[in-house]
Chains A and B, each alone.
Chain A
Amino acid sequence: MMHTAELLQVFAAHRGDAIVISGRGGKQWLQISDTALDLPLGDPAMGGHSGFGLGLALAQPDKRVVLFDSEGDILMSLGQLATIAEQAPANFYHFILDNEVYATTGGQPVPGAKTVDYAAMAKACGYPRAFSFSDLADFKRELPAILGAPGPVFVALKVLPEVENTPIGQRVRWRKRSSDKVVSDARAALGVG
C-alpha cells in the first residue's frame, strides 16, 4: 500500500502540461499544485468523476487529462468504464486510489474490498491498457512509460486509507475554490470561457 501524497509527488514530476482532476486525491494534490488546470472538484455527486474526466478529454483532445478517481466512485458507476472504453480518448489517463474503504464516512469497507480486480474490469470493458500497483517503487519505475503511451489507460493504485470520522460540519474545508469556480477558471485557461 502507498501513501496518496507520496504517489502524487511521483506523478507531479511527470505531469507536464496535463489537466489534473484531483478527485479523491484533491486534498493532497492541492499541496502540490493549484493552477487553473488543476480541478479539485470536491464531490459534486459520487461516482461522476470518471464521466467528467471523459467529457473533458473528449472536449480537449490535444491535452492530456489525468484523473485520480477512487474505487468507491468506480463501484458506484461501473458502466462508465464501458462508455470510456467505447469513446476511447487517447488523451485520458484514469488512475484510481483504492483504499478499500469509504474513508470520508468513517472507514467502512467497500463491497468486494479484498476481491475486486479493478484493472481487470477496465480491461474487460475495453480499455487497451490497465495496470495495478501497490508498491511505490514499482509505480515510480513504470509511470513514465504509462504516461508516454496513448490512452485510455487505467491504473489502479492501492493506497493507505486516511479515514475521517469528524462530523462533516466540523471538518476543516481544504478547498480554496468552489466547484463552479474551478470549472469557470478551467474554461478561461483553456480559452473557451
Chain B
Amino acid sequence: MSSEALSPETVMRQMKQNGVTDVVWLPDSETNWLFLLMKADPDLRLVGVTREGHACSITAGLYAGGRKPMMLIQNTGMLESGDSIRGWLMGLNVPVVLMVGYRGYTRHGVNTDTAATYTERFLMAFNIPFFLIENDSDSDRITKAFELADKTRQPVVVLVGDEYHGFNR
C-alpha cells in the first residue's frame, strides 16, 4: 500500500475518536477492508441496508434514541437518497457524518464516470457541507466533519477519494 493511501485503520480510529456507536451502511467496492475492521469491533453495531435512502431514516431513529450513528455509502447511493437526506436527516436536524465513497473521482476533474461529475454539484444543491479526504494525512478532516455536524445539527459529508489512491488495498 502506498504511503499516500488512506488506510481503513485511520478511518476506524477517527470513528472511535468521535464516539461513533453504529454504522448504517451499504457496501461499495472501496470499503471492504473497513468492513472487516468494523465487524471485528464488538463495540460497534453495523446496520446493513438494501438501499442507501433507508440508511437515513434508520440513522434518524438511532439519533432520536441517543446513539451516535454514522452512514457509510457510495456517491451513487447518495444521489439516489436525495429525498431521504432532505426529510429524515436535514428535516429532523440530525447531526450525522456521511462517509461517501467518491466513485469516479480523478483529482484532475476529467471524469469518465458521471457519478463523480454530479457528486459535488448534488451536495452544493442541497447545501450540505463536505470535506474531501484522499490519504492518511487528510484524516483530521473527519473529526472536523463530526464537529461541524454537531455544531450545525445537520448532516456533513466526507468524500472519500479512494479510487485514486487504492483505499481498498
Q: Which of A's residues lie within 8 Å of B, judged by CB?
A: 39, 41, 43-45, 47-60, 77, 79-80, 82-83, 86-87, 179-180, 183-184, 186-187, 190-193
Contact = CB atoms under 8 A, between A and B. Distances in A.
Interface in B62-92: 62-67, 69, 83-84, 86-88, 91-92
B139 interface: no
A83 B57 contact: no
Contacts of B84: 45, 47-48
A22 to B, nearest CB: 14
The 8 closest A-B pairs by CB, nearest first: A55-B61, A59-B65, A192-B66, A79-B50, A45-B87, A48-B57, A51-B57, A44-B87
A87 B50 CA distance: 13
Given A52-B88, A180-B91, A192 B48 contact: no
B155 to A, nearest CB: 13
A56 B93 contact: no
14 contacts: A45-B53, A45-B87, A47-B57, A48-B57, A48-B60, A52-B88, A54-B47, A55-B61, A56-B62, A58-B61, A58-B62, A59-B61, A77-B51, A77-B53
Specify the main secondary structure of chain A where it touches its partner. Answer: helix
A83 B54 contact: yes
Contacts of B59: 55
Contact of B64 (A43, A50, A52, A86): A52
A56 B64 contact: yes
B58 interface: yes
B45 A58 contact: yes
Contacts of A79: 49-51, 54
A45 B65 contact: no
Contacts of B67: 55, 58-59
A83 B61 contact: no
A52 B67 CA distance: 13
Contact of A54 (B61, B63, B92, B93): B61
B64 A45 contact: no
A41 to B, nearest CB: 8
